[in-house]
Amino acid sequence: MKKTKSDYLYVGAQGFLFLLYVIPAQIMSFSSHTFFTILGIALLVLGIVISFISILQLNTNLSPFPTPVYGSKLIDVGLYKYIRHPIYTGILCIMFGYGIYEASGYKLLVTLILWILFFFKSRYEEEKLAIRFPKYAEYKKRTGRFFPKF
C-alpha cells in the first residue's frame, strides 16, 4: 500500500513527542515513594521486553508508518495473539515507567498525549490493515488494542 500524508503526520507527531519527552524539563516534578520508584523500574523493564519481543516477531513487517509494508503478512502469533499493537504498549510502558521513576509529571503528561496519539494512529492503521487482510476484523474481535482482552 502507498503511504499517505496521514502516515507522515502520525510519524512526525510521534517523533515530536519523543523529542519533547527527552527534554530535561524540571516542571511538574513530584516527590516519589520507594514503591513508585520500583514500580517505574518494573514498567520500564516490562516495556523493553515487550518492545524487543514484538519487534522480533514483526520481523520484516516492521515500519514506523501505519500503512502496512508491501508484501506484509498478518502476524497473529506470539504477543500479537493477545495484543494488536504490542510495540505501542512497550513504548508506553517504557515512557510511563521512566516518568514514574523520575517523578516527572511532565514526562507522564507527554506519555499521556502519546497514548492518545497512538490510539488514533492505531485506529488509522487498523483501517489500512482491514483492507489489506480480510481476516483482520476477526482478529480484531479476539485481541485487545494495547492490552489483552479479558
Kindly report, residue by residue over 46-68, the tens digit of the pLDDT. Answer: 999 999 999 999 988 899 999 98
Domain carrying residue 140: 32-60+75-150
Q: pTM, whole model, 2 decimals?
A: 0.91
Rounded Cα distance between 143 and 147, Å, is 8
Q: Is residue 43 part of a domain?
A: yes
Domain at 85, CATH number: 1.20.120.1630
pLDDT at residue 69 above 90? no
Number of domains observed in the structure of the chain:
1
pLDDT tens, position by position, 92-134:
999 999 999 999 999 999 999 999 999 999 999 999 999 999 9
Q: Tell me, yes or no, whether 91 lies in a domain.
A: yes
Q: Which residue has the cell 498525549?
A: 113
Residue 17 lies in a domain: no
- Identify whether 66 is part of a domain: no
For residue 143 the three cell numbers come to: 485481541
Residue 40, classed as helix, strand or coil, is helix
Domain assignment present for residue 50? The answer is yes
Residue 23 lies in a domain: no
Would residue 26 count as lying in a domain?
A: no
Query: How many CB atoms sit inside 10 A of residue 43's CB?
Result: 20
Tell me if 140 is assigned to some domain: yes
Buried b vs exposed e over 47-63: b needs ≥16 C-beta within 10 Å?
Answer: beebbebbeebbeeeeb
